[in-house]
Chain A
Amino acid sequence: MKHVYECSVRFDDLDAFGHVNNVTFAEYLQEARVDFAHRQLVTGNAPHEGVVVVHQSIDYLAPVPFRTEPLQVHVWITRIGTSSFDLAYEVSDTSMLFARATGVLVAYDVKADRPRPVSPAEREVLERYLEPAP
C-alpha cells in the first residue's frame, strides 16, 4: 500500500527559472512524509519518539511550472530495520512523473538525542506500506 499526499503548488515555490525550485521538492517530500507519519505512524508515540532523516536522494525528471491542480506525492516503505527504515517517493500527477526519491530515516529519541529501536506498533504500520523500490 502507498500513502498519497495531495500537494498544492504555491506561487512562491517557483524560482526565477519559472519552475518549482529543486529545494522545494524536498519540502513536498517532507510534507508527504509528515502527513504519513502523523496520520498513520506516530499516533501512539510519546512526543520525544521521533524520526530523523539520515540520507536522501532525489531524481528530477521533469520541471513543474505553476499549476492550480495539486500534485500527488506517493510515499511507501522499502526496508524496515531495527532502528531505521527506507522510504521511496514519487511526485506526479495523473499524466506525468516529475520526481523519484528515496530516504533513510532513523527512529530517534529526541530527548535523549540518540537513535531508538523501531517500536512494534510502528513496525506493524510500516509493514502495511512495504512495497518494492521503484
Chain B
Amino acid sequence: MPRHVTLVPLRWADMDAYGHVNNVVYLRYLQEARVDMLFVHAPKQGAEQLAEGVVVARHEISYQAQLRFRGEPVRVETWVRRVGNSSFELGYEILDVDDGDRTVYAVASTTLVPYDLDDARPRRVMAEERSVLESFFEPEGPVPGKGKATA
C-alpha cells in the first residue's frame, strides 16, 4: 500500500538553543502530515467526518537524528497501522530521501479516536473512513524503538 507523503517546510525558529529542531516541533510536523492526510486528502476520498472531530489518544516517538534548519522541506511519510471499531493507529517516518538513500530523523505512531465534539464522546469508525484508511494500510511498518539506551 502507498504511504501518504507530506513535505513540511522548516522554520528557522523551529530550532532551540541547541541549534537543532526542538523535540516538540517534531510532533508539530507529524500533526501537519496527519491533518494533510485526514482533513485534506481523506474528505476528497469520501471520508468527510474526520475533519469534524478526531482526537489524539496516544503518541509515541523515537528521535533518531537531529534536524537543522534548511530551505528544503522535510518529508513525512504516514501510513495506517491498525483500524479498530472506534480508534485507528497511524505510523510515521520523518525523513529525507536522497537518490534512494533514506535518512530517518524520527519514527512515531499515534492512536486516534473519532470524536463527536457536540456530545463530547467517541464514535465508531464509519465504513467510508475505514475504506480510505485501509488504502494506506501497512501493519508491518517501522515502529518507534523502546528508546531504552543500552548505556
User: Which A residues are closer than 8 A to B by beta carbons?
Assistant: 17-19, 21-23, 26-27, 30, 50, 52-60, 63, 79, 81-84, 86, 104, 106, 110, 115
A106 CA / B53 CA spacing, docked (Å)? 36
When distances are taken between beta carbons in the complex, the residues of chain A under 8 Å from B60 are 55-58
Q: Looking at the complex, which one of A18, A52, A57 makes contact with B59 (CB distance below 8 Å)?
A: A57
Q: Looking at the complex, which one of A21, A27, A60 makes contact with B58 (CB distance below 8 Å)?
A: A60
A83 CA / B27 CA spacing, docked (Å)? 25
Q: Looking at the complex, which one of B23, B28, B57, B148 makes contact with A56 (CB distance below 8 Å)?
A: B23
User: Which B residues are closer than 8 A to A by beta carbons?
Assistant: 18-19, 22-24, 27-28, 31, 53, 55-63, 66, 115, 117, 144-149, 151
The distance from the CB of B151 to the nearest CB of chain A, in whole angstroms, is 4
Do A60 and B56 contact each other (CB < 8 Å), given the known contacts A54-B62, A54-B147? yes
Contact status B147-A55, CB under 8 Å: yes
Contact status B56-A84, CB under 8 Å: no
Q: Looking at the complex, which one of B23, B28, B58, B149 makes contact with A57 (CB distance below 8 Å)?
A: B58
When distances are taken between beta carbons in the complex, the residues of chain A under 8 Å from B147 are 54-55, 104
The distance from the CB of B130 to the nearest CB of chain A, in whole angstroms, is 22
Q: Looking at the complex, which one of A52, A86, A115 makes contact with B151 (CB distance below 8 Å)?
A: A115
**Inter-chain pairs besides A30-B22, A53-B23, 9 sampled, C-beta below 8 Å:** A22-B55, A22-B56, A23-B31, A52-B23, A55-B63, A59-B57, A60-B55, A63-B55, A104-B149
